[in-house]
């Protein structure tokens, strides 16, 4: 009956529910369309290989992500170096 209670309390119309659901779906869909170009995994591997010429690092030392802010696209690159021993 939780669902019924939910309707009783706030009484959103079905059109409002539709709008809320669509806003979530569309935001998700658009993020999926634009994030992570397909060369990212390969770039990550190549970077790892280059870094390993100089430093001994683990497989998860390189982190890559793409962030979008309007028209601006930012490639974020994080390299974790091993702690000095």
Partner 1 sequence: MAQVVVVTSGKGGVGKTTTSASFATGLAQAGHKTVVIDFDVGLRNLDLIMGVERRVVFDFVNVIAKEATLKQALIRDKRVENLYILAASQTRDKDALTEAGVKRVIEELSKDFDYIVCDSPAGIEKGAQLAMHFADQALIVTNPEVSSVRDSDRVLGLLASKTAKAAAGETITEHLVVTRYDPARVAKGEMLAVDDVQEILAIDLLAVIPESTDVLNASNAGSPVIALGEIPAAEAYKDMVARFLGEDKPHRFLEATKKGLMGRLFGG
Tell me which of 2, 9, 10, 13 binds partner 1, using CB under 8 A: 13
* 37 to 76: interface string for partner 1, x by CB under 8 A: ----------------------------------------
Verify binding: residue 21, partner 1, rule CB under 8 A.
Answer: yes
Is residue 33 a contact residue for partner 1 (CB under 8 A)? yes
Q: Which of 2, 8, 75 is CA-nearest to residue 36?
A: 75
């Amino acid at each position: 009956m939780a669902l019924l209670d939910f309707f009783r309390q706030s009484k959103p119309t079905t059109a409002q529910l539709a709008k809320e659901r669509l806003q979530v779906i569309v935001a998700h869909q658009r993020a999926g369309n634009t994030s992570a170009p397909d060369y990212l995994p390969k770039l990550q591997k190549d970077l790892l290989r280059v870094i390993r010429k100089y430093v001994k690092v683990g497989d998860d030392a390189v982190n890559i992500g793409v962030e979008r802010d309007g028209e601006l696209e930012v490639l974020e690159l994080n390299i974790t170096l091993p702690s000095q021993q």
